A = this chain, B = another copy of it.
């Protein structure tokens, strides 16, 4: 009653090639050839086998196939800092790269828990993945995952192991800062402030470095304010209060470069509250190009885009290449892009 089996089948996982062969009245070998469109076979036989296969809903068992091939046609994606806004575009891009090549993705999440990471890794290795992608927030330069079987292609995306042997793809955040500063200079700013997140994030340090480097290169009146705080809108508002309230006109910054779009938005609002015109009196550049923020802010925010999607695509491409036998290593920084909106449009 529970069991429905219209056609007698042998397998535990559904109809097998043996069933197909039997019903088509040919040998297993012949059925295999017919289904894989290789070897020479009478067209008639081929058709008959394929017809039977379709009728009984035969589908080759990938696991059995993989036992022969040296590939499992699967890769693992291990996120070591829960999934979030940043991981999504990367994953999406990886997906596009792999799906077209018939590679399936095992997705694992080990939020800062080495024990869980170990478990996931064990599982993935048991599944004989052909390659591994490790993603995280660029923030934590982390110990490399492992131990891994020698020769397993691994790539760190938006993440960076603290040994240098592996391949790591990150975005050039210092370069992003430079874009922002140059742009602010171009729209006429003379006194900049960098309002950013907590310094325990590597990204904050990188962006800070880029900020100061770029300041040194351009002609500015002022050495640049630097305020580190939280990643929140509230901090953006507070920072503006600190920079503007009770500060003489000539001392106030006329350009803000913010560590993310939330801070930038908070800053924009705070200026708005004070009747200071953006971009007229103060221009603002954010970071992340998160359209939820950039588009809702008043005015809409110019921002630096890390091109995470491009990062993901490149990672997928490289991993496939490594699975193909080539070797890559070292840290690669992909460029950021400036996206101009109202907050700097003068």
Which chain B residue has the least Cβ–Cβ distance from A125? B59
* Cα–Cα distance between A254 and B109 once the two chains are bound (Å): 44
* Cα–Cα distance between A232 and B108 once the two chains are bound (Å): 32
Which chain B residue has the least Cβ–Cβ distance from A4? B150
Say whether B127 contacts A63, CB under 8 Å: yes
Check A251 for interface membership: any CB of B closer than 8 A: no
A108 and B126 in contact, given A67-B67, A296-B266 (Cβ under 8 angstroms): no
Say whether A126 contacts B296, CB under 8 Å: no
Check A81 for interface membership: any CB of B closer than 8 A: no
Check A84 for interface membership: any CB of B closer than 8 A: yes
Q: How far is the CB of A262 from chain B (nearest CB, A)?
A: 7
Q: How many residues of A contact B (CB 8 A)?
A: 56
* Cα–Cα distance between A305 and B127 once the two chains are bound (Å): 37
Q: Pick the contact of A104 from B64, B124, B150, B292 — CB < 8 Å?
A: B124
Say whether B104 contacts A70, CB under 8 Å: no
Check A200 for interface membership: any CB of B closer than 8 A: no
CB neighbors of B among A80-129 (8 A): 82-84, 88, 91-92, 95, 99, 102, 104-109, 116, 119-120, 122-128
Contact with B along A57-89 (1 / 0, CB 8 A): 101111110110110101001000011100010
Check A13 for interface membership: any CB of B closer than 8 A: yes
Check A224 for interface membership: any CB of B closer than 8 A: no
Number of copies: 2
Cβ of A266: which chain B residues have Cβ within 8 Å of it? 296
Check A143 for interface membership: any CB of B closer than 8 A: no
Cβ of A106: which chain B residues have Cβ within 8 Å of it? 74, 104-107
Say whether A126 contacts B61, CB under 8 Å: yes
Cβ of A99: which chain B residues have Cβ within 8 Å of it? 108-109, 116, 119-120
Check A12 for interface membership: any CB of B closer than 8 A: yes
* Cα–Cα distance between A195 and B199 once the two chains are bound (Å): 40
A92 and B105 in contact, given A63-B63, A116-B99, A266-B296 (Cβ under 8 angstroms): no
Cβ of A92: which chain B residues have Cβ within 8 Å of it? 82-83, 109
Say whether B61 contacts A128, CB under 8 Å: yes
Which chain B residue has the least Cβ–Cβ distance from A149? B14
Which chain B residue has the least Cβ–Cβ distance from A116? B99
* Cα–Cα distance between A273 and B295 once the two chains are bound (Å): 18
Top 10 A-B pairs ranked by shortest CB distance?
A107-B107, A63-B63, A233-B296, A62-B126, A12-B70, A62-B127, A13-B128, A95-B109, A104-B106, A63-B66
